Amino acid sequence: MKPSLGQRLDNGLRQFLPVITVLLLALLQVVPTRIPGFAHVAPALPLVAVFYWSAYRPDLFPATAAFAAGVFCDIVGGGALGVQALIFLLAQGAVASQRRFLLGAPFVIVWLAFVFIATMAAGLAWALNSALAGALAPTRPLVLGHLMTLAVYPPLAWMLARGHALVLGRV
């Protein structure tokens, strides 16, 4: 039986879930919180989604999607253009290449893998932004923000997994 137009449209939208979640988290990251000092150490929410989808649905989150999402994050975040694009791209490549290992691994191991990727990402972001600005960026907020990112991974990954199961069905 041929799927109806509505079904096809629905399927099409579902395919974009990974990209949509990354973009939404990018927007959520810059929402003013009114918490003193929070803006300096806000966690890198989109990176969690990039990691998650690269590991579990690289077919729906290919390199091109990672790049596009990165450019969007660069624009919304106000940082140097191309930096997040490169970071997401490299993260997507690294995670997708290790997905066989990640899929069977217990949660703690996956989390450790995220710690590794996020640390590399933070270091690269610092180096690239400092080089492009021609001055060293302060490291204290970077480290605090990085720790926030690592802490936010378990609950956010859980939510992404729920959304994944709900909208796309487990693969």
Partner 1 sequence: MKQHAGATGRLAVFRSAVQRFTFFLLVVLSLALMLVGRADTRVIERTRMAVLDAVAPVLDVLSRPAVVVAEVAGNVRELAQLRAENERLRRENQRLLHWQIAARRLEGEMRVLREQLSLVTDRPPRYVTGRVIADLGGSFVHAMLVGAGSQQGVRKGQAAIAGDVLVGRVVEVGERSARIVLLTDMNARVPVIVESSRAKAMLAGDNTSRPLLNYLAENVSVSPGDHVVTSGHGGAFPPGIPVGVVASVAEEVVRVEPFVERHRLEFVTLVDYSFPGLDEAAPAADAGTAVAAGDGGAGGDDADRDDGDGGAGEAGAAEAGARPR
Using the rule CB under 8 A, is 27 a contact of partner 1?
A: yes
Q: Which of 13, 109, 112, 132 binds partner 1 (CB under 8 A)?
A: 132
HEC-encoded secondary structure of the chain: CCCCHHHHHHHHHHHCHHHHHHHHHHHHHCCCCCCCCHHHHCCCHHHHHHHHHHHHCCCCCCHHHHHHHHHHHHHHHCCCCCHHHHHHHHHHHHHHHCHHHHHHCCHHHHHHHHHHHHHHHHHHHHHHHHHHHCCCCCCHHHHHHHHHHHHHHHHHHHHHHHHHHHHHCCC
Binding-site size for partner 1 (CB under 8 A) equals 50
- Distance of closest approach, residue 7 Cβ to partner 1, in angstroms: 27
Name which of 132 and 161 has its Cβ closer to partner 1. Answer: 132
Residues at the contact surface with partner 1, assessed by CB under 8 A: 27-28, 30-42, 62-64, 67, 70-72, 74-83, 85-86, 89-90, 93, 125-126, 128-129, 132-133, 135, 137-139, 141-142, 145
